[in-house]
């Protein structure tokens, strides 16, 4: 009778099973498992597995899936609770698709696995970066809260098994320029590194318990990120106690010798990466590890450690256990785009919409208007619904379709492209005049599309090709502003609906167009959600997760990674629209702000309470935001920084009392080397519907004193 190998015994501890399996492998077999496209080891019963899978805002590139709003839109909800529900729905669909693929003999197929390379928690420090749409915006606190919720929703809460593996990326200090990412060295001070670029990664690892992290292409302060002793060994594992695995971005290890020129060949590059803590290679460089062992560049024991980390995760995903033992294996295929998930996509799309202007209460519109003109290159186009790294839905609802579906049966709704997305083609003024002659209102759907911003090489519009994925300017592209001006000149009321994944400079529109909405890349239910807001079925409450500058003149050079004059935390000038800004169809009043203590020591906490009242006649959500300002710091600090948020629903005249706990660590300043410290002094604590400097926020504030004890 043949004894069952220990690694196939689901009753044994994972560490015991992993050690047994790795001990049975040859060096060549071990190295083969460190590639993202890991082959089967037939003699050991190890199946082939492709580690590369995407679910940035829904399961991506794997056929049918619910398409949620792009990540920047998810962040605009300022709602970690809803984010957790979205991530849980995504992981349900991912599990169901994985097991359905396995039943078709595709268990190792790319994009149908259980290890997902998301979320992107890089700080969106500059609106030119094409991949900013993948992030949760410019603020470390907001990014951390949304990132932790997403990681937890993906990985599940079973005590034994992981639902999926989440992979926060790109670690670290990575946000363009896209065309230079394979050679670029992001030079950053210790203060900016610890105060801005690392907090969200730390939160996702220590709070979210992310089991994987993806390294960045670039160097940071001279070290290649996917082979950085500072980032991977000292900080990630040494300081934060990370016990998962690190995967390189695709081709990043090859960049060590091909482009960064920090090593001489593939063997040196592979050894550098693994020795410092990168276990999985998306690419084709790690096969050189066999040669590296022979040359003494790395030991087989170090290979064993790396392979053990990879198989620990595969065992925790239940890949070597009977399906009846793994609770997530029972999730049925019927969850994919089920009614609950489609409604959740609509709910999140509604929460993400930001009302930027509503002069004269033009919005909401009546559904029984006689005639409506829907005009613009993004009005009836599916691509602006997707964003990048997207899945596929057979029911993508465009703005035009959403509007048509919402108005009365007797309302005439007409559509025209108006002008191309970005091409320099004159606006047909005569046709527009004829179209809008009899309408009650014009809804102009303008802005960006993934053809104009994205990852290196992804943009396909000739107007965007020169940026290599990044934007060279932040205005409305092509002839769109000309179109908007001509629509305004007709004398008809105009509602401007913007799509996009990044800030758009629209100073003329802000001054002249009565109603403006930012809808991002809203996912499959974007058009339905927009109609809900336009016609009053939903009261908007989204907030900007990024600052909208007036122009590029307000920004430092793109390649400068210093935070001075970047984002709301360090920008001294008044922007076009502030981070955290967003209007509603009702008004909210803040009162009775209280601190549980007026004075605390440098290791204590304080409870902050206040009341929020819906002072209007319409029910709606409010996003309360808590900001901290150090009033007399001895070192450079942010002007203000978000340290708390609550999205709440209030009926007309209803009041709710909010409670925040503010830890002393949230008051920390940072030395030039990046050491955090809480110094005695006074701190302004403000709570309102936006930044305290914005009169529309209704913010109240109090002064907290920190003393030595």
Please list the active-site residues. 249, 453
Give yes or no for a contact between 627 and 640, defined as CB atoms under 8 angstroms apart. yes
Helix (H) or strand (E) segment spanning residue 352 = helix 339-352
499 Cβ contact list (under 8 Å, min separation 6): 378, 384, 445, 446, 447, 448, 449, 519, 520, 521, 522
| Distance of alpha carbon 283 from alpha carbon 288, whole angstroms | 12
Whole-number CA gyration radius for the chain: 26
- Lookup result for tokens 């603020």: 139
DSSP structure class, residue 361: G
Helix (H) or strand (E) segment spanning residue 647 = strand 641-650
Exposure of 481 in the CB half-sphere (CA atoms within 13 A): 12
Residue 486, CA distances (Å) to 310, 479, 504, 508, 515 in order:
59, 11, 19, 13, 16
Give yes or no for a contact between 346 and 529, defined as CB atoms under 8 angstroms apart. yes
* Sheet strands (E) in 560-619: 588-595, 599-601, 605-614
Query: Can you say how many angstroms the Cα of residue 103 is from the centroid of all Cα atoms in its chain?
Result: 32
Give 427's strand partners.
Answer: none
Burial of 569 (0-12, 13-18, 19+ CB in 10 A): buried
Phi and psi, residue 667, nearest 5°: -100, 5
Per-residue b/e over 427-465, b at no fewer than 16 CB within 10 Å?
A: bbeeebeebbeebbbbbbbbbbbbbbbbbbebbebebbe
| Distance of alpha carbon 469 from alpha carbon 176, whole angstroms | 9
For 344, the token pair is 């959740």
Phi and psi, residue 93, nearest 5°: -65, -40
Residue 413, CA distances (Å) to 326, 401, 557 in order:
52, 10, 45
Task: Please state, as a whole number, how many other Cβ atoms lie within 10 Å of the Cβ of residue 180.
Answer: 17
Task: Please state, as a whole number, how many other Cβ atoms lie within 10 Å of the Cβ of residue 473.
Answer: 11
| Distance of alpha carbon 382 from alpha carbon 509, whole angstroms | 25
| Distance of alpha carbon 174 from alpha carbon 578, whole angstroms | 23
Give yes or no for a contact between 76 and 545, defined as CB atoms under 8 angstroms apart. yes
| Distance of alpha carbon 91 from alpha carbon 317, whole angstroms | 13
| Distance of alpha carbon 604 from alpha carbon 550, whole angstroms | 40
* Residues making up the chain, counted from first to last: 709
Would strands 219-220 and 37-38 be described as parallel, antiparallel, or unpaired?
unpaired
DSSP string, 221-262: TTEEGGG-IIIIIIIIIIIT---SEEE--TTHHHHHHHTS-S
For 7, the token pair is 């690694």
For 669, the token pair is 């300043």
Closest residue by Cα to residue 633 from 692, 676, 598: 676
């Amino acid at each position: 009778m043949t004894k069952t190998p220990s690694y196939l015994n689901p009753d044994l501890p994972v560490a015991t099973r992993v050690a047994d399996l790795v001990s049975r492998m040859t060096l060549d077999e071990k190295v083969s498992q460190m590639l993202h496209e890991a082959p089967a080891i037939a003699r050991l019963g190890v199946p082939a597995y492709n580690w590369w899978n995407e679910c940035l805002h829904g399961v991506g590139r794997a056929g049918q899936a619910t398409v949620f709003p792009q990540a920047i839109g998810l962040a605009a909800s300022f709602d970690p609770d809803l984010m957790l529900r979205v991530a849980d729905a995504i992981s349900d669909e991912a599990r169901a698709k994985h097991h359905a693929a396995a039943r078709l003999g595709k268990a190792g197929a790319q994009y149908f696995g259980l290890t997902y390379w998301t979320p992107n928690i890089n700080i969106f420090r500059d609106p030119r970066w094409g991949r900013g749409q993948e992030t949760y915006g410019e603020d470390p606190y907001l990014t951390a809260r949304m990132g932790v919720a997403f990681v937890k929703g993906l990985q599940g809460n079973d005590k034994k098994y992981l639902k999926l593996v989440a992979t926060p990326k790109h670690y670290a200090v990575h946000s363009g320029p896209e065309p230079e990412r394979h050679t670029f060295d992001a030079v950053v001070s210790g203060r900016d590194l610890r105060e801005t670029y690392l907090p969200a990664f730390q939160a996702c690892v220590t709070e979210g318990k992310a089991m994987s992290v993806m390294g960045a292409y670039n160097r940071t302060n001279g070290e290649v990120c996917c082979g950085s002793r500072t980032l991977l060994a000292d900080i990630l594992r040494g300081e934060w106690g990370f016990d998962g695995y690190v995967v390189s971005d695709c081709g990043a290890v090859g960049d060590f010798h091909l482009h960064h020129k920090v090593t001489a060949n593939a063997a040196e590059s592979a050894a550098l990466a693994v020795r410092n803590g990168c276990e999985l290679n998306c690419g084709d460089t790690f096969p050189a590890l066999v040669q590296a062992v022979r040359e003494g560049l790395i030991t087989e024991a170090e290979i064993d450690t790396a392979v053990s980390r990879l198989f620990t995760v595969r065992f925790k995903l239940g890949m070597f256990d009977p399906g009846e033992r793994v609770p997530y294996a029972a999730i049925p295929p019927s969850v994919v785009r089920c009614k609950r998930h489609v409604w959740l996509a609509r709910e999140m799309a509604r929460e993400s919409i930001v009302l930027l202007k509503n002069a004269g209460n033009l919005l909401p519109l009546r559904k029984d208007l006689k005639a409506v003109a829907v005009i613009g290159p993004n009005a009836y186009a599916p691509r602006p619904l997707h964003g990048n790294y997207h899945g596929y839905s057979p029911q993508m609802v465009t703005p035009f379709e959403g509007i048509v579906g919402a108005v009365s049966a007797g309302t005439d709704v007409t559509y025209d492209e108006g002008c191309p997305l970005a091409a320099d083609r004159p606006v047909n003024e005569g046709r527009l005049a004829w179209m809008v002659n009899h309408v009650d209102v014009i809804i102009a759907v303008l802005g960006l599309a993934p053809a104009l911003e994205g990852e290196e090489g992804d943009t396909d519009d000739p107007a965007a090709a020169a940026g290599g994925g990044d934007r060279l300017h932040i205005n409305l592209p092509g002839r769109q502003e000309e179109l908007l001006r001509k629509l305004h000149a007709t004398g008809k009321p105009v509602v401007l609906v913007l799509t996009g994944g990044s800030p758009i400079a629209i100073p003329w529109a802000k001054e002249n167009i009565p109603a403006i909405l930012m809808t991002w890349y809203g996912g499959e239910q974007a058009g339905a959600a927009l109609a809900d807001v336009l016609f009053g079925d939903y009261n908007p409450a989204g907030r900007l997760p990024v600052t909208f500058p007036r122009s590029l003149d307000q920004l430092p050079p793109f390649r400068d990674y210093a935070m001075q004059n970047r984002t709301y935390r360090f920008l001294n000038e008044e922007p076009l629209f502030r981070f955290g800004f967003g209007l509603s169809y009702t008004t909210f009043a803040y009162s009775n702000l209280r601190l549980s203590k007026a004075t605390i020591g440098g290791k204590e906490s304080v409870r902050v309470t206040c009341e929020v009242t819906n002072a209007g006649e319409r029910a709606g959500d409010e996003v309360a935001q808590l900001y901290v300002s150090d009033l007399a710091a001895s070192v450079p600090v942010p002007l203000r920084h978000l340290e708390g948020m609550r999205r709440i629903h209030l009926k007309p005249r209803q009041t709710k009392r909010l409670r925040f706990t503010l830890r002393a660590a949230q008051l920390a300043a940072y030395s030039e080397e990046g050491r955090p410290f809480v110094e005695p002094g006074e701190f302004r604590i403000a709570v309102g519907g936006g930044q305290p400097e914005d009169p529309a926020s209704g913010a109240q504030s109090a002064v907290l004193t920190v003393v030595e004890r």
